[in-house]
Structure 1
Amino acid sequence: MGWAAAGLAALALAAGLAGAATVDTPAQAAQAADPAGPPRVLRYAFPVAETGFDPAQVADLYSKTVVANIFEAPLAYDPLARPARLVPQTAAAMPEVSAGHTRFLVTLQPGTFFADDPAFGGRPRELLAADYVYAIKRHYDPRWKSPSLFLFENAGLLGLDALRAEALKPGGRFDYDRPVEGLRVLDRYRFEIRLARPAPRFLYTLADPSVSGAVAREVVERHGDAVMAHPVGTGPFRLSDWRRSSRIVLTRNPGFREQRWDAQPAADDAEGQALAARLRGRRLPLLDRVEISIIEEAQPRWLAFLNGELDLLERLPPEFVPLALAGERLAPHLARQGIGLQRAPAVDTTFVYFNMDDPVVGGLAPAQVALRRAIGLAYDSAAEIALVRQGQAQPAQGLLPPGVSGHEPALRSEMSRHDPARAQALLDLYGWRDRDGDGWRDRPDGRPLLLQFASQPDKTSRLIRELWKKRLDAVGLRVDFRIAQWPENLKASRAGKLMMWGVAWGAATPDGAYFLDLLYGPNAGEANMARFRLPAFDALQARIAVLPDGPERAALMHEAQRLAVAYLPYKASSHRINTALTRPGLIGYRPHPFASDFWRHVDREPDIPR
């Protein structure tokens, strides 16, 4: 899913499925009889402000969540299938894959239309193959500075790198009309992707609407640099109100094609089977409106949920875990109110990254490696999990979390170790000593040493800062915290201006190589915010990318992860558990490990008091 505050995409269903809508409550019957009846509204909150709503420009989880419900990729994830399963979305069927996973032929279903927009001159605008070709090309256009470009570059779309290189020349421009071998419109509803090397898991990229969502060229050309505020997609919702960093409102897209609820849970998934029996056949989306408030502080978010102002509290704030849970069960006082509980691994990794271009903490020289490893050993991840996250996480031994390929359940590494004595020994050995007697360690050349750590003003970030400062003070390392709002830190991070920053990376696919992309040299400045460049790692990642899933690929992933532990461009801390609370009347919410567009699949009964 991408970057998230440390304090995750595409799930959807095949379109045009047959079956009459089922009606099982008076409210549903009233809604079916009178579409203008009481609106079905989902209300919840983001803990971090959004950045905008353009698939070619967003990188953060919260903006991607909104984008994933406005735009559509050719494929999606069945929302209830476990393990995760891809299904057609705007595609008429699963793509044809040939030539050793280097050729992908996508055929779209006719009759899918973009939401109305003045850019279309008052005429209905059908989704065409050319729209996906244009949308993918936009990631290569330097104008948009796409943070997701690495997903396509790593796959090696033929001819697109050369097109980008031309645009990067002085006075150059990106020529969207120039034919390229790797991305071709075959006819009105078919397009072809050709890759320079095998990509057995490339279909996952075509299932993420926040990356591969169809974009109309007319809309981009009309709105230009303001396109982040003018999202126009083919999805079930459209943006109707946006007050930056405060409120986001999406309403039902009246032109959305006929699509029916048809998730396919496993036979032994009793809860999923009951949900399918209740909702199967109903026309999507079930909701009329989604209202999102930006509430960065945990206490107001918690109180808003308790007061019935929110229907869903995703990522229960850690400080309220003792009030909400009794062990792993819902607290009795909440259960008596009909509150629902969903707990599932978030399939993410929280970490602090070190800017490898920074002259203090970066580089591959032994002294710099020793400094990063000492910082990692000085920190106490177990204390963070216990004190800050209230046990709602497990220690990270590496970057790959449980739930993705390549994860090693038996791995025990230095990544989770708290050993201040060893940290001090490393610092002493490599010259990071206190040379002027002020109590703080200096650089090996005698200059003062000051670590600069980016953070946010919310309570969870403050508690993590306090823990970091206490542990670094204990080994004589002085640290200065630079506090800014999350979108500002993200912008500075992408520009390479932060020395250290604590964030999380959430899974967008079941493939663990998505986490290894954080270390791949060609991804520097995109997924690889640490700007780590190690030829030995890059060679491993190149082999991992082309191999089919199996023991050989898993062994290479394990080797790559050990290089990450040894050089430590990222100090991983934890893999979080996502605890979500739902109020009575919210139906169908089941968090998916790799997808964010759940809004079309859930219902909110208008006759159930909040």
Structure 2
Amino acid sequence: MTAARSLTVRCLAACLFVLSLPTAAADMRKTLHVVLQNGETVLDPAQASDTNTLSLIENIFDAPLRYDYLARPLALRPNLTTAMPTISADGKTYTLTLQHGIRFTPDPAFGGKSRELVATDLIYSMQRHYDPALKSPWLFLLDGKLAGDSELKQGTFDPMRPIAGLTALDSHTLRIVLDRPDNNFLYLLAMPALSVVAHETIAAHAPFPVGTGPYMLREWQRNSRLLLDANPDFRRTVFDDNTTGNPAIARALHDKSLPLIGHIDVRVLEEQQARVLAFLNHDIDYLEPVPAPLAGMVLEQGKLKPELSRQGITLALTPMMSLDYLWMNMEDPVLGGIGLPQIALRRAIGYSYDRAEDIRVLSKGLAIPAQSPLPPNVVGYDAALRSDAETNPALARALLDHFGYRDRDGDGWREQPDGSPLTLTMHTLASTTGRLRDELWRRSLSAIGIRVVFNSGKFTDLLKAARLGQVQMLEAEWIADFPDGENFYQLLYGPNAGSANRARFRLPAFDRLYEQAQQLPDSPARNLLYRDMNHLLQGYAPWVLRTHPVSADVQHPWLRNYQRHPVMLTTWRYLDLER
């Protein structure tokens, strides 16, 4: 059905290969200018969960595996390893052989020198996710999967406590043992969250992140600007990709050492208009995506404006493996719980939401309505599935009336069944986009007699409040960490409450289905479980499903080798400039 269905995880003979030798291939006369939509949080793979920060992390740090840049269907390949991991016949034991000579960038924690990456660094980096002080949002990737990991939760936390699931067989060989087979485990080894850090720099609270990636951080104006330099000690990485994903880019990159560009100038521009103007004024080299509410500045009837085409600017419309949704805090005294009145209130909120207006007015047509959490091209997506959460204000009002949410004092606003005031609080971004979305929700909820107030703030502040359970309801976007339905449904899995499961949704019936689905490969049987999980999601309504975005990406004519990747957040190491 999709390219992702036939995803291969073996490294093809003609794929990107790496040799552990330093390179000075990057042209230090060139600077790539890019923009982030929101400020970075903390440049730590175990703590960052927003795409803006992870975009930086995947360039400063390294995960054991990476996606091939051009391969379609998607393919994984070695990154820190000499080859793809070997997997035992029972699917539970993975053996990784690391390349020799990969080095962390110099840091005072290493006596001002660099240090070679070894197998125990991977053990430390994985096990520190279990540190209760970190509250890692990525703990779900490993928790309950690594053999013996329950020992990490006993007594005082020790990130190097020996467990059966992680063993350094020698300085460059790591054995990973799982309690049960995991069909998606190789994907996890390519995620920025499982990038490798050095225990010395973490213990020393190094002011700048220290990794082994293609770039290193040189200057850091928090939530404003970051300057990255090509890592002079980055292992020699020669591109030799003969896949048919994009032959022109493959030819342009053939036999070239990566990265190509010496400097990355990263600016944080939270206002949408500022990002578009930065592109039109040639201050940045590409923009992904063009903010949908401002698409008229760049697009005309779904195509690039002629005057921009004449400048050599090009447009690519890319369906995204992502979901836009509203989550509601299931621990909130007004919205939360699984009592029938609370379920009715949440479902009424969903019925009030006008998806058609959202797509037509705010998204400018650059989205499709979400029928389930799974976007097209994700393994497990069911094109025949239709959500029952359609826009239906009349049904919303009837539900509220039936369960006691009535206007008792005649002021036009409903009260709770016990007669107490009913006012919802939605946290939103303090930006033009946030204000436009506020107005859509205000109209939607007012139409069914519910008063809502908006608590606007910066993205980083909203994220922190959400982690602490201090948010009643919040719009969010989830971009696939790997192209499988499990990555979306884990957002509702009970044990992930408080981390990836921001809604704090806990339903034993859902959790059982999720755990059963984890045991199955992509199959009709697993798809039936996904369908049942979607029915429970719609029935208990901890979310309002919104849309799956279509990204309008534009680039200037001097940018070379650019192609949006379905999973990787950035492609900076492959890009080049001709100016």
For the aligned pair, the TM-score class normalised by the smaller chain equals over 0.9
Q: Does structure 2 retain, via aligned residues, the 8 Å contact 1:15–1:90? A: no
> Matches of 2:81 and 2:36 in 1, distance apart?
31
Identity of aligned residues (%): 44
> Does residue 230 of the first structure (1) align with residue 212 of the second (2)?
no
Q: Does structure 2 retain, via aligned residues, the 8 Å contact 1:17–1:262? A: no
Instruction: Note the 1:143-542 alignment, pairs <5 A.
Output: 143-153=133-143, 156-166=145-155, 173-208=156-191, 210-223=192-205, 227=206, 229-266=207-244, 269=245, 272-415=246-389, 417-542=390-515
Instruction: Please give the per-residue CA displacement for 1:172-192, whole angstroms capped at 9, x wherever unaligned.
Output: x31233211111111111111
Instruction: Note the 1:11-160 alignment, pairs <5 A.
Output: 14-16=16-18, 39-153=29-143, 156-160=145-149
> Matches of 1:424 and 1:138 in 2, distance apart?
49
SS at 1:293 equivalent: strand
> Matches of 1:502 and 1:258 in 2, distance apart?
42
> Matches of 1:467 and 1:517 in 2, distance apart?
29
Instruction: Please give the per-residue CA displacement for 1:305-353, whole angstroms capped at 9, x wherever unaligned.
Output: 1111110111101233223223343221111101121221121110110
SS at 1:125 equivalent: strand
Identify which of 536, 539, 547 aligns with 2:520: 547
Deviation at 1:265, TM superposition (A): 3.2
Amino acid at match of 1:514: N
SS at 1:562 equivalent: helix
Q: Cα gap change, 1:14/1:135 in structure 2, threshold over 3 Å: closer, same or farther? A: farther
Paired positions, count = 565
Q: Does structure 1 retain, via aligned residues, the 8 Å contact 2:425–2:454? A: yes
Q: Does structure 1 retain, via aligned residues, the 8 Å contact 2:16–2:241? A: no
> Matches of 2:82 and 2:103 in 1, distance apart?
14
Q: Does structure 2 retain, via aligned residues, the 8 Å contact 1:78–1:264? A: no
Instruction: Please give the per-residue CA displacement for 1:380-401, whole angstroms capped at 9, x wherever unaligned.
Output: 0111111111111000111111
Q: Does structure 1 retain, via aligned residues, the 8 Å contact 2:28–2:263? A: no
Match of 1:7 in 2: none
Amino acid at match of 2:254: R
Q: Does structure 1 retain, via aligned residues, the 8 Å contact 2:123–2:167? A: yes
Instruction: Please give the per-residue CA displacement for 1:20-56, whole angstroms capped at 9, x wherever unaligned.
Output: x9xxxxxxxxx97xx7x76111101112111021001
Q: Does structure 2 retain, via aligned residues, the 8 Å contact 1:236–1:600? A: yes
SS at 2:237 equivalent: coil
SS at 2:32 equivalent: strand
Instruction: Please give the per-residue CA displacement for 1:60-117, whole angstroms capped at 9, x wherever unaligned.
Output: 0100000011111111100111121111111111111115222111111112111111
> Matches of 1:452 and 1:176 in 2, distance apart?
39
> Matches of 1:479 and 1:165 in 2, distance apart?
44
Q: Does structure 2 retain, via aligned residues, the 8 Å contact 1:14–1:89? A: no
Amino acid at match of 1:458: S
> Matches of 2:509 and 2:388 in 1, distance apart?
20
> Matches of 2:138 and 2:196 in 1, distance apart?
15
Q: When you count strand as a share of all residues, which structure comes out higher?
A: 2
Amino acid at match of 2:18: G
SS at 2:103 equivalent: coil
> Matches of 2:194 and 2:507 in 1, distance apart?
29
Q: Does structure 2 retain, via aligned residues, the 8 Å contact 1:101–1:199? A: yes
Match of 1:24 in 2: none
Q: Does structure 1 retain, via aligned residues, the 8 Å contact 2:123–2:160? A: no
SS at 2:564 equivalent: coil
SS at 2:104 equivalent: coil
Gaps of 5+ in 2: 1-8
SS at 2:229 equivalent: strand
Q: Does structure 2 retain, via aligned residues, the 8 Å contact 1:440–1:478? A: yes
Deviation at 1:144, TM superposition (A): 1.4
> Matches of 1:112 and 1:440 in 2, distance apart?
63
Amino acid at match of 1:187: D
> Matches of 2:521 and 2:286 in 1, distance apart?
39
Match of 1:6 in 2: none
Gaps of 5+ in 1: 1-9, 22-30, 167-172
Match of 2:5 in 1: none
Amino acid at match of 2:526: R
Match of 1:4 in 2: none
Q: Which has the higher contact order (CA 8 A, sep 6+)?
A: 1
Amino acid at match of 1:311: D
Amino acid at match of 2:520: L
Deviation at 1:233, TM superposition (A): 0.8
What TM-score comes out, normalization by structure 2 length?
0.95
Amino acid at match of 2:235: R
Deviation at 1:506, TM superposition (A): 0.7
> Matches of 2:327 and 2:342 in 1, distance apart?
14
Instruction: Please give the per-residue CA displacement for 1:426-477, whole angstroms capped at 9, x wherever unaligned.
Output: 0011111112222111111111111010001111111111010011011100
> Matches of 2:18 and 2:37 in 1, distance apart?
35
> Matches of 2:510 and 2:90 in 1, distance apart?
24
Amino acid at match of 2:222: R
SS at 1:574 equivalent: strand
What TM-score comes out, normalization by structure 1 length?
0.90
> Matches of 1:165 and 1:360 in 2, distance apart?
36
Q: When you count helix as a share of all residues, which structure comes out higher?
A: 1
Match of 1:28 in 2: none
Amino acid at match of 2:126: I
> Matches of 2:101 and 2:522 in 1, distance apart?
36
> Matches of 1:289 and 1:462 in 2, distance apart?
35
SS at 2:84 equivalent: coil
SS at 1:466 equivalent: helix
> Matches of 1:263 and 1:348 in 2, distance apart?
27
Amino acid at match of 2:198: A
Q: Does structure 1 retain, via aligned residues, the 8 Å contact 2:373–2:488? A: yes
